[in-house]
Homo-oligomer: A and B are copies of this chain.
Amino acid sequence: MVTIKQIAAEVGISATTVSIVLGGKAEERKISAATQKKIFETANRLGYQPNIAARSLRAGFGADEIRVAMLWAEDFRASMMVRFWDGLRAELAQLDRKIRLVIYPYTNDHLDEVHALTSASDCHAAIICNASDADLEFLRRTQLAIPVVLYNRTCPGYCSVNVDDALMGALAARALSDQGCRRGVVLTGAPVFAGMEVRVQSFLLEGARHGLEARVAPYCDSSARGGYEGARALWSAESGEYPDALFCGSSLIAHGALRALRELGLPQLPRVVAIGNGAPELDELSVPSLSVVYLPMEEMARECLRLLMDWMSDRLSSPASRLLEARYIPRESCGPIADQEQKTIG
């Protein structure tokens, strides 16, 4: 990288003068127009960019802030980023410490390439979201340079905030079976981590236990369009009796599916339950409104940050994990669970 020293050498002048000119203080320091011109030209020619770290160090600014990285996989879940971000922001507002939150997009299975984790010179701490199995494997065998909390994943030696994936699947099964459903379909995207499969397996198991026979449809794209096309294909292929229950891996998939089912003009719509990972607002207003097993993402984000603060300030003697509760929220697409004591299920 080109520095003011290099520019100075190139022009045949001192670094001080270069700093003055590039810092916009040429007039008050009465630097000659000729010198200014040469400096600007050279800076542009060499593609000079100031070193931010050097400037902040010198200015002393930002020394009091704690920089926390929010690692978010840049895939179909990008649209869900805001809920998590919102949760973190809400928690920040409560905290006394000055924290700067920085989003680090990363690619699944390439967490090992994120320099901020393996060096301590980029961030003070990090929250890792959406880790894939390969990413978890990397974490397991690596000693990171900074304290970290995992969102909805577990890994030995790490703090984490989780929901009970098995319970989520079971709740969905119970909701549908309690409404009298007997033939179910699971429509979901290709699993990117073990928990997704746990949800589905648990759904199948708990369903079977309550008279709901279900099968897993071919994986669809994890989007509204994926849900639309997936549901359309499923119901079009059906020759005999239609399924009376649909369990979707995400609310986006469910919204697409609902639209498709409606278009098909079926005599009777199946009941639908989804993992509620999207904006609740949209789930409430779809036609019909969407019943979900609600993923308390904002609350989990807040908990991640709290845990991280505790972990950083040594209030925790060893890595801790916290489990947050996933609730079933009945809406029009599927009625309530008969048994009030949801937590005993599974």
Q: A102: which B residues are within 8 A, CB to CB?
A: 102-103
CB contact under 8 A between A56 and B59, given known A79-B279, A105-B89, A282-B255: no
How far is it, in angstroms, between the C-alpha of A121 and the C-alpha of B52 when the chains are bound? Answer: 6
Are A50 and B124 closer than 8 Å at their CB atoms?
A: yes
How far is it, in angstroms, between the C-alpha of A54 and the C-alpha of B120 when the chains are bound? Answer: 11
A310 interface residue (CB < 8 Å to B): no
Q: A128: which B residues are within 8 A, CB to CB?
A: none
The stretch from A171-179, A223-231, A269-277, A320-328 touching chain B is A223-231
Shortest beta-carbon distance from A130 to chain B in Å: 15
How far is it, in angstroms, between the C-alpha of A123 and the C-alpha of B49 when the chains are bound? Answer: 11
Q: A119: which B residues are within 8 A, CB to CB?
A: 59, 61
Q: A103: which B residues are within 8 A, CB to CB?
A: 85, 101-103
Kindly supply a per-residue 1/0 record for chain A positions 98-137, scoring 1 wherever the CB is within 8 Å of any chain B CB and 0 otherwise: 0001110100000000010001111110000000000000
A74 interface residue (CB < 8 Å to B): yes
Shortest beta-carbon distance from A136 to chain B in Å: 23
- For A66, the closest partner residue in chain B by CB is B49
Of A57, A259, A285, the most chain B CB neighbours within 10 A belong to A285
Shortest beta-carbon distance from A195 to chain B in Å: 23
A281 interface residue (CB < 8 Å to B): yes
CB contact under 8 A between A64 and B1, given known A223-B281, A282-B255: yes
Q: How many copies does the complex hold?
A: 2
Are B313 and A47 closer than 8 Å at their CB atoms?
A: yes
A55 interface residue (CB < 8 Å to B): yes
Kindly supply a per-residue 1/0 record for chain A positions 19-58, scoring 1 wherever the CB is within 8 Å of any chain B CB and 0 otherwise: 0000110000000000000000000100101111111111
How far is it, in angstroms, between the C-alpha of A121 and the C-alpha of B63 when the chains are bound? Answer: 12
How far is it, in angstroms, between the C-alpha of A128 and the C-alpha of B24 when the chains are bound? Answer: 22
List CB contacts (< 8 Å) of A246-263 with chain B.
252, 255-256, 258-259, 262
Shortest beta-carbon distance from A190 to chain B in Å: 19
**Subset of 17 A-B contacts with CB under 8 Å:** A1-B64, A24-B145, A51-B63, A53-B53, A53-B54, A57-B57, A59-B121, A79-B279, A89-B105, A102-B103, A223-B281, A224-B282, A224-B284, A256-B285, A282-B282, A286-B286, A287-B287
Given contacts A53-B62, A57-B57, 15 further A-B contacts (CB under 8 A): A1-B63, A24-B145, A44-B313, A50-B124, A51-B57, A53-B53, A53-B57, A56-B122, A61-B115, A61-B119, A61-B122, A62-B122, A81-B85, A262-B287, A286-B286
Residues of A within 8 A of B (CB): 1, 23-24, 44, 47, 49-59, 61-64, 66-67, 74, 78-79, 81-82, 85-86, 89, 101-103, 105, 115, 119-124, 145, 223-225, 228, 252, 255-256, 258-259, 262, 279, 281-282, 284-287, 313-314
